[in-house]
Copies of this chain bind each other. A is one copy, B any other.
Amino acid sequence: MTDAIRRSRRSSGRLTLEDVARAAGVSPITVSRALRGERSVDPVLVERVREAAARLGYVPDPAARALASQRSTHVAVLIPLLTNTLFVDLLEAVQRTLRAQGFQTLIGVTHYDPREEEQLLREQLMHRPAGLIVTGFERSEETRALIQASRVPCVHVMETSRAPGVHCVGFSQQDAGQALTEHLLARGARRIAYAAAQLDARVMQRAEGYRRALQAAGCYDPALEFLRPEPSSFALGAQMFGRIVAEAKPDAIFFCNDDLAQGALMAAPRLGISVPRDVAVAGFNDLPGSDQLLPSLTSVRTPRREIGEEAAHMLLQLMRGEAISTSCVELAWSVVTRESS
């Protein structure tokens, strides 16, 4: 009889359930159940197991667990970009909330490309994620089918939908767009342009809110919509600003995102345009820098951190098979009035 535990040739040297079981004087399966918090384990044994696991420094093997249970502790997150602070804030909130519950986040950056999204999702699904967070509702039929067929719990972020069976956390992009436009109207503007890039679903929903406000005020003019499909950037904002002012002579411009609006404000002195005297400017998302520029930028503060937290919480409930109170959480935004309009 020797104290040394004989290990097979292939042992990883890692502590296993069996080591803990031996230390606690129970069977491995009881350790498994106790550690996972399954009820129907004698509280006394649970305590003994917990103590032994802690003392030995036992850490369950995620691969073995995933193989045996057919579910991992990975959560796949699909977002369009990492270069927009919006999504970084969202992501950090998701990651912080999920980490605290033992889940890892696998990030997929789609670059607003439906084919890239589909490819990323396929790769992520191979890892049998326990949950999925995707941005908005706009995607290829194939991607939608993959999500459905995978039966992986899924939460949509940024937009809202009341469709049955859909889980989402976001806010009404349309209402926010409308409110910002109404702010510009209230400041006396009548020829209000909408300047947008990327043209993803959310940008177009803001456009819809813009139209609604202007139609209600009787001053909607389709010629004042400037829609560019390329990615949003400071440079594009600067370029669009110069052109729109020269061509359309608006008294206000609603840029669909702060980066475009910031680019416009940076270019204004060079173009010899005074904001808001010559033209008022507003952005969307209230990104870093908008409060620093001269003039400071009027924008819409969007609840991305809250969206990330709520979405993670909702997903945790879904992954645990718990009943959830609301399948669609709508969060609040606010218009931030500054010097530019």
Contact = CB atoms under 8 A, between A and B. Distances in A.
B63 A72 contact: yes
Contacts of A270: 294
Interface in A192-239: 233-235, 238
Interface residues of A, number: 43
Nearest to A234: B292
B127 A62 contact: yes
Given A234-B289, A262-B289, A91 B85 contact: no
Contacts of A291: 235
Contacts of A266: 289, 292-294
A104 interface: yes
Interface in A78-95: 82-83, 85, 88, 91-92, 95
Copies in the complex: 2
Interface in A259-300: 262-263, 266-267, 269-270, 288-289, 291-294
A263 B292 contact: yes
Contact of A83 (B85, B104, B107, B127): B85
Given A82-B92, A91-B82, A104-B127, A64 B62 contact: no
Interface string A100-137: 00001111010000000000000100111000000000
A61 interface: yes
Contacts of A293: 266
Contacts of A166: none
A269 B294 contact: yes
Given A62-B63, A63-B63, 11 more contacts: A62-B127, A82-B88, A83-B85, A83-B288, A104-B106, A104-B123, A238-B292, A266-B292, A267-B294, A269-B269, A270-B294
